Structure 1
Amino acid sequence: MQQPQKILVIRFSSMGDIIYTTPVVRCLKEQLPGTEVHFLTKPAFRYIYEGNPYVDKLLLLKDTLDATIREIREEQYDCLVDLHSNLRTAIIKLKTGLKSYTYNKQTIKKWLSLKLRRQLLPPVHLVDRYLKAVAPLGIKNDNKPIDYFIKKAYNLNALLPAVHAGGYIAFIIGAAHFTKRMPNDKIVAVCRRLNKPVVLLGGNDVKENGTYVADVAGDKVFNACGSTSLDESVFLVAKADAVIGFDTGLTHIAEAFNKPIASIWGSTIPELLGVQPYKIDHSLVAGVTISCRPCSKYGLPKCPLGHFKCMKDIDEKQIVDFCSQY
């Protein structure tokens, strides 16, 4: 097989799914010397690949699919790697006529796993599922973590109170859906039991939650939700002694820095999507076994049964004991 000289890799969303494409891009660049590797995503997720040395060019999805297709044709790629596998990428492949290598989503098995609450898919990580798509190009897993490159040097003392200078635990309390987040009082209980200062991280959507937790839990907890940029939040994660987080993009990005991670799961389960912590030395996956879990693949705005036991019944002690080791 002749080595392609120019490859386009596509993944439009979301943050967690895109961060897990980084090993694929790195392996393509390193294992196919001289090949140009480009990446196409939505403008909202450009930050994941900005500054990534394994990408020669970053393309952004345009207002119309036809405009995106025109740009792809102009680049004259040898082949395309489709790591999204949806209707839009199918149209792109059809209209460009490029030789393509496509990620198998196994949509039906995922749907049946959710409906039957049985694990019908092997617990293979999403990175390894992605890598199967490029195996025909001779690409092998280099068994290294995901990549995220912090955009600039930040001053830790400018971002945090002095009490956190001696070390802290980063607690990522944001997530896209309610059923992926612990209730505020549960977060307070965990923070109170931790033996180190805590920095709460998340976006504006959980800023009020963070304010409540910090007010109730006391001075050891600092609320950085909504007051730091994503890149600053990643920097704070990279400097933490350990990380606690829900099923959300920033928790997955933390894996790039090989931090001990306590990954907390409510209505979703990592095995279904293959997004358990990847290539890190120390991790804890916390979740309870109940008959109604998982109730969703991506999370819901409220508990369908009203009890929310999947989060409320999680053992706080296992999280605290894990973090206390670091």
Structure 2
Amino acid sequence: MLKHSKVLLIQTAFLGDAVLATALLEKIRMESPDTEIHILVRKGNESLFKAYPYTNLKTVWSYDKSRKWSSWLELRRDLSKEHFDAVYVIQRFLGMGLLSLCIGAKRVFGFDKNPMSLFFTEKVRHEWGTGIHEVERNTALVKSWLGEKVFKPYLRTPKIDLATEMQKKEYICISPGSVWETKRLPIRIWIEFIQLLPENQVVVLMGSPGEIELSDQIAAAFQGSNRIVLNETGKHPLLASAYIFQQSKMSFVNDSGPMHICSAENVPTVAVYCSTVPSFGFGPLADWNRIVETKHVLDCRPCGDHGKKNCPLGHYACGEGIEAKSLLQAYQDYLSSGC
């Protein structure tokens, strides 16, 4: 059986991918507690891991994609000094596959779809579109070391002061954004959903600074009404935002990073899928969750492995075909569940 005293995990993709990588941190911590763990993530995602409460995680490294090759060269220099027993490349892209091979680690493990997989010590089949969850795929990378048991992602967020209207476990979060436009539920449907909610249900809008305009459109629809719709989009650093999700009654999210934050915090989650589908393996993992998607069969859906900047056919039927009453039904299901 393999034994590693020092390993590096590499996941420099988007926020949600980084959150899901915490499942491997948990697996290594629980099943090989003496192993020193390092992780390399995209710049901006470091705070997620710097708040990780266990000393098994020694160093959080960051890759600055705004200065791609200079950052890559700096990482090659600095990581070469660490003398890792093993590197686990969680993503499938050339740059990080090449980096893993250039830092002098004893062994390199990665997916067969990585262009550099021919040179890996062990390459693992990357199954896609079969319903296998990403945390299961990632766990397969360490199977020869630690076996098949899958752990859930985990986040621990520091407490912050909440607005007076945000009573613990009483408000719901809505996160209308996504990096990809074809993963965004149309704003009009979010507005219709809020209108269907009980008037005393406090709604908190969440998102990154780049998504302020989306939340502003929703908030503007309720100006002057008796509803409390708090627009917190772009107002908080990453961990503070995660705490707001954690304290919510439940959260409504697109197929995006906030969904995975809710999974890692076990927040009751309603996940909306427009152009993508749950079988890609990025579904919600909270103990209570629901998936909402169009009930219409569309030959064009999914239109790709990821979202797109706009609908290739111009109609966006996968998003426009979702009904606000489906979101309301999920809300009512949770209230009646007794969870």
TM-score, normalised relative to structure 1: 0.87
Equivalent of residue 86 in structure 1, options 80, 83, 93: 93
The residue number in structure 1 matching 2:239 is 231
Secondary structure class of the residue paired with 1:286: strand
Distance 1:121 1:165, change over 3 A: closer
1:110-152: CA deviation from partner (whole Å, max 9, x where unpaired): xxxxxxxxx9732100000000010010244254x311121x3
From 57, 60, 63, give the equivalent of 1:61: 63
Q: Structure 2: state its 5+ residue gaps.
A: 65-69, 116-126
| Distance in 2 of aligned mates of 1:166 and 1:67 | 44
Determine the C-alpha separation between the residues in 1 that align with 2:317 and 2:170: 32
Are 1:178 and 2:185 an aligned pair?
Answer: no
TM-superposed deviation, 1:166 = 7.4
**Aligned-partner residue type, residue 51 of structure 2:** G
CA 1:308–1:136: 2 relative to 1, 3 Å: same
Instruction: Report 1:143-222 matches (<5 A).
Output: 143=151, 145-150=152-157, 152-156=158-162, 160-162=163-165, 167-195=170-198, 196-217=201-222, 218=225, 219-222=227-230
Identity across aligned pairs (percent)? 22
* Contact preservation (8 Å) 1:171, 1:199: yes
Name the aligned partner's letter for residue 190 of structure 1.
F
Q: For residue 275 of structure 2, what is the aligned residue in structure 1? A: 267
Find the residue that maps to 1:40 and give its secondary structure: strand
2:120 corresponds to: none
For structure 1, which segment, 129-138 or 221-230, has the greater mean C-alpha deviation from structure 2 after superposition? 221-230
CA contact (8 A) 1:104 1:133 kept: no
1:38 aligns with 2:44: no
2:323 is aligned to 315
* Cα shift readout 1:174-219 (whole Å, capped 9, x = no counterpart): 1112111122211100111123221111122222222221221343
Matched-pair contact (CA < 8 Å) for 2:253–2:272: yes
Shift of 1:161: 4.6
Which residue pairs with 2:108 in the alignment? 100
Distance 1:105 1:192, change over 3 A: farther
**2:294 equivalent to 1:302:** no
Aligned residue type for 2:139: L
> How far apart are residue 97 of structure 1 and its match?
4.2
Q: Secondary structure at the match of 2:221?
A: helix
Distance in 2 (alpha carbons) for counterparts of 1:19 and 1:231: 12
What CA deviation, in whole Å up to 9, does each residue of 1:73-115 have, x standing for no partner?
21111111111232122222332343112134599xxxxxxxx
User: Residue 11 of structure 2 contacts residue 90 of structure 2 at CA under 8 Å; is this kept in 1?
Assistant: yes
2:136 corresponds to 1:134: no
**2:290 corresponds to 1:284:** yes
Question: How many residues are matched?
Answer: 308
Does structure 1 conserve the Cα–Cα contact (< 8 Å) formed by 2:136 and 2:150?
no
Flag structure 1 segments of 5+ consecutive residues without an equivalent.
108-118
* CA-CA distance at 1:50 after TM superposition: 1.2
- Indicate how the Cα distance of structure 1 residues 163 and 245 shifts in structure 2: closer, same or farther if over 3 A, else same: closer
Seen in structure 2, the aligned counterparts of structure 1 residues 22 and 305 have a Cα distance that, compared at 3 Å, is: same
Greater helix share, structure number: 1
CA apart distance, 1:220: 2.4
Displacement of 1:6 after TM fit?
0.7
- Cα distance in 1 for residues equivalent to 2:136 and 2:59: 24
Q: What is the Cα deviation at residue 261 of structure 1?
A: 0.8
C-alpha distance in 2 between matches for 1:14 and 1:182: 20
User: 263-272 or 95-104: which moved more?
Assistant: 95-104
Give the equivalent residue in structure 2 for 1:4: 4
Q: Do the aligned partners of residues 85 and 291 (structure 1) sit closer, same or farther apart at CA in structure 2, a change above 3 Å counting?
A: closer
**8 Å contact kept, 2:169–2:247:** no
Q: Please tell me whether the aligned partners of residues 211 and 234 of structure 2 are also in contact (alpha carbons under 8 angstroms).
A: yes
Is the partner of 1:292 in helix, strand or coil? Answer: coil
